[in-house]
Amino acid sequence: MTNPFSIEGKRALVTGANTGIGQAIAIGLAAAGAHVIAAGRSSCDDTVAQITAAGGSAEALTLDLSDPVKGAGELAKAGDLDILVNNAGIIRREDSVDYSEADWDDVMDVNLKAVFLLCQAFAKAAIARGAEGRIVNIASLLSFQGGIRVPAYTASKHGVAGLTKIFANEWAAKGINVNAVAPGYIATNNTEALRNDAARNQAILDRIPAGRWGDAEDIAGAVTFLCTPAAKYVTGAVLNVDGGWLAR
**Catalytic positions, written as ranges:** 153
3-state DSSP assignment of residue 152: helix
Q: Decide: residue 230, CB within 10 A, 0-12 exposed, 13-18 middle, 19+ buried.
A: middle
C-alpha distances in Å from residue 244, one per residue of 2, 187, 213: 33, 16, 11
Task: Give residue 158's identity as a one-letter amino acid code.
Answer: H
Q: Are 58 and 51 in contact (CB under 8 A)?
A: yes
CA 223 to chain centre: 8
How far apart are alpha carbons 133 and 126 in whole angstroms? 7
3-state DSSP assignment of residue 139: coil
The secondary structure of 62-80 as a DSSP string is: E--TTSHHHHHHGGGGG-S
